[in-house]
Chains A and B, each alone.
Chain A
Amino acid sequence: MINTMGIILTGGKNNRLKELSMERSISAVPFGGKYRAIDFALSNMINSGIRNVGIPTQYNFRSLMDHLGSGKEWDLDRKTDGLFIFPPYLSEYGTGWYRGTADSMYSNLTYLKRSNEEFVVINQGYAIYNMNYSEMLKQHVDKDADITVATRYMTDFSKEDLSQLGIVEIDLEQRIIDFQEKPLNPKSDFASLGVYIIKRKLLISLLEDSAAHGYFDFVRDILIRKLNELRIFSFEFKGYWRPLISIQLFYRTNMELLDPNVRFELFIKNGKIFTKVKDEPPAKYNEEATVKNSIVADGCIIEGMVEDSILFRGVKINKGAVIKNSIIMQNTEVCENAILNNCILDKNVIISSGKQLNGDRNWPLIVGKNVRV
């Protein structure tokens, strides 16, 4: 896909991730022991052969910038093309704030104009999936589509989750005839992944047109408004896909990694997922360690009991501690005899000796960054 560039949208303000997104963009939410959500969108692009990637950022983007750096880990530290990060900026015309997804691209129109690829893949930085976009591009060209939208039957989503997605209706030719963004009562489970393919020149003119009319959102103001005017097609993705847009989905998606089939699909089958390296030594298990059905990252030291849990890099579980059904992020320490069930502990948390924290499977207990319990 040498003739294709990529844009990763990193998400608006999201309160449904609670403490996890208070200090970070939802694309920078830690996931799966060593990743951040955006690693999947970015690695998918790399694995599809895209070498020119732009990332407009908005809310709390510091941790995202820190994570992406110069793009070394994704092999995007290039002289030609590579990685471009676009925080909002003040200018004569701009407000210093992106007013929507279309506005975030329009504000960086120069980048789009200077690039010379024919096609653009736009995706979302907060979804966990492994997809090669080549096939979607092939269909886009074969159908002579103006925009192709990746879609999926969300049979494995609750109604509440569905109402956070864009519900799509198609005709027999796979042309999209109706698109409802975040409907209260979704009429089907066929939804958009927020992955689009479009010709670069068409994208530029659509963005200019929409800005001229004072419109700022790609879905509401371009996709939905132009449904009849443009040839917009659906491309059905049949794999595993989860957006980290609520605590429930975040918790569930992490826990689903304990399923070997999910791990195989996400990390092995279609291509590797790249992330920032931390140069931690391998995890160390001491005499008393009992670990069952869990994911453990490098740099952990385990002396306690861990079951059905995800441990990120550099986590320390001391003697007598019992961890069940929990997600424990980087450099957090659980002291002796503490007991955790259904918890999400953010980075650098300390749970002191003997403490007991109990969450619910549907409402896991969240402990924010740098907290000492």
Chain B
Amino acid sequence: MAKEIVALILAGGEGSRLGVLTRLVAKPAVLYGGKYRIIDFSLSNCINSGIDTVGVLTQYRPLQLNHHIGIGKPWDMDRMNGGVTILSPFTKQQKGEWYSGTADAVYQNIHYIDELDPKYVIILSGDHIYKMDYSKMLEFHKKNNADATISVINVPLEEASRYGIMNATENGKIYEFEEKPPQPKSTLASMGVYIFSWDILKEFLIHDHQNEQSDHDFGKNVIPKLLADKRSIWAYPFIGYWRDVGTIQAFWESNMDLITRVPQFNLFDPEWKIYTPNPVKPAHFIADTGHVTRSIIAEGCMIYGQVKSSVVFPGVTVEKGCYIEDSIIMSNSIIKSDSQIICTIVGEKTTVGSNVKTGFGEYADNTFNPKVYQTNISVIGSNSVVPDNVTIGKNVVLDNYLTPEDFKDLDIPSGSALIKEGVAQ
């Protein structure tokens, strides 16, 4: 049966500014909010908006994503007709090729969409944290008889030059698009959510594919071409919480947004649930010696120490005498006794030994990659073992899969890095 609308989620992004957090998984698979992975928001938005047919385009490190999405059960997308399909790059008769851009990724899957024969296609990014009803955007698209509709959010003027900015008339018709303009003329930033009428998008994708000068990117190439051809493109204003979480600081801040008394971003809304595979774990336990304030704690945790202003994922153990503040502790990690974890992101399945201190001393520039690591936050990768009595400063990065032997020194000063070279995990 033909579908009115099909969603495509672009989930191939590396998210390189998230450092060790995305060294082993694609950005949409990064853990978020005490239980979720980033892509859960786009997937849940789809099903909550009545879109049950979703293609997920993967490329960079797809294993965790494939495992997470499976046949789409948690999102109720295990359907006879429609459901979720993982679309990875594939070889053709002549040659195999990777997706060379967002538009190319969709171009290479034209056959998938044609098979479903939808009237509209919604293109989403699997990188963003937000709750949005796409069905309202589709209504807007239909009402305007648009060729394309781009969802936009008002951003502060001083930040506008970081986004793709839409210049639109008062009623929302876009007449100009500027990618990261130095002098932005408006504050309407593209959220990377596009609805196209499929016949038009298909025509432009084929055209874009033939253009050897093109970077095959929606923002850079396809949208400007549509505008140049005087197509009807509309800006759909979105009001609400939307975050790109593309940097360690933004990722940390967005997690911390969840623990305020009345969070701007409410995960408790029964009308708009965010779905994810539920871990099979008992409810969490706070011991006699435990104390938890201003935090979110997931199932299966055992808290014997003090946790303040932090986000704790399922299955984490915090032993006696620990003090955790302003931190994100991901699934199944263990923080052993008397450790002080301050302003640190600890990856999943990591063991932090006894009497470890993090977030100590003064800030220093990171020696390994100052572009990625440039805040007070220290990051410890997944599956690592940090030995007892280690003191870790601010803005430190520790790799995934570290063993105690990798720690040559018990003192890891601010700004330093412990990265395992050449290990293809």
Contact = CB atoms under 8 A, between A and B. Distances in A.
Interface of A: 32-35, 72, 257-258, 260, 263, 266-267, 272-274, 277, 279, 281-299, 301, 310-313
30 contacts: A33-B283, A34-B282, A35-B282, A72-B73, A260-B285, A272-B280, A273-B282, A274-B280, A279-B275, A279-B276, A281-B34, A281-B35, A282-B296, A282-B298, A283-B298, A284-B268, A285-B297, A287-B293, A289-B293, A291-B290, A292-B288, A292-B291, A293-B286, A294-B285, A295-B282, A297-B284, A298-B298, A298-B299, A299-B268, A310-B283
B297 A281 contact: no
B283 A296 contact: yes
A277 B278 contact: yes
B30 to A, nearest CB: 17
Name the residue among A72, A282, A290 with the largest chain B CB count within 10 angstroms: A282
> Which 3 pairs from chain A and chain B are nearest by CB?
A33-B283, A281-B267, A297-B283
Interface of B: 33-35, 73-74, 258-259, 261, 267-268, 273-276, 278, 280-288, 290-299, 302, 312-314
Contacts of B313: 282
A74 B299 CA distance: 18
Contacts, number: 109
A151 B269 CA distance: 47
Contact of B278 (A32, A266, A279, A293): A279
A295 B294 CA distance: 17
Nearest to A307: B288
B286 A296 contact: yes
A51 to B, nearest CB: 18
A285 B298 contact: no
Contacts of A285: 292-297
Contacts of A258: 285
Nearest to A308: B288
A283 B284 contact: yes
Given A279-B273, A299-B268, A293 B293 contact: no
A304 B33 CA distance: 23
A292 B286 contact: yes
Contacts of A34: 282-283, 299
A284 B302 CA distance: 15
A293 B282 contact: no
A277 to B, nearest CB: 4
Contacts of B292: 285, 289, 291
A312 B283 CA distance: 8
A240 to B, nearest CB: 14
A295 B282 CA distance: 9
Nearest to A34: B283
A210 to B, nearest CB: 39
A275 to B, nearest CB: 8
A284 to B, nearest CB: 5
Nearest to B282: A267
Contact of B299 (A282, A284, A290, A294): A282
B308 to A, nearest CB: 9
B259 to A, nearest CB: 7
Given A267-B282, A291-B286, 5 more contacts: A273-B280, A285-B297, A290-B291, A297-B299, A298-B283
A309 to B, nearest CB: 10
A33 B283 CA distance: 6
A306 to B, nearest CB: 8
Nearest to A299: B268
A317 to B, nearest CB: 13
Nearest to B259: A284
A74 to B, nearest CB: 10
Nearest to A316: B268
B285 A283 contact: no
Nearest to B292: A285
B316 to A, nearest CB: 11
A292 B290 CA distance: 6
Nearest to B262: A286
B34 to A, nearest CB: 4
B285 A281 contact: no
A313 B273 CA distance: 15
A313 B290 CA distance: 20
A183 B34 CA distance: 51
Contacts of A35: 282
Contacts of B276: 279
A313 B276 CA distance: 16
Contacts of B74: 279
B167 to A, nearest CB: 38
A263 B302 CA distance: 11
Contact of B294 (A32, A273, A287): A287
Contact of B268 (A289, A292, A293, A301): A301
B66 to A, nearest CB: 19
B261 A267 contact: no
Contacts of A279: 74, 273-276, 278
A288 B273 CA distance: 26
B275 to A, nearest CB: 5
B315 to A, nearest CB: 10
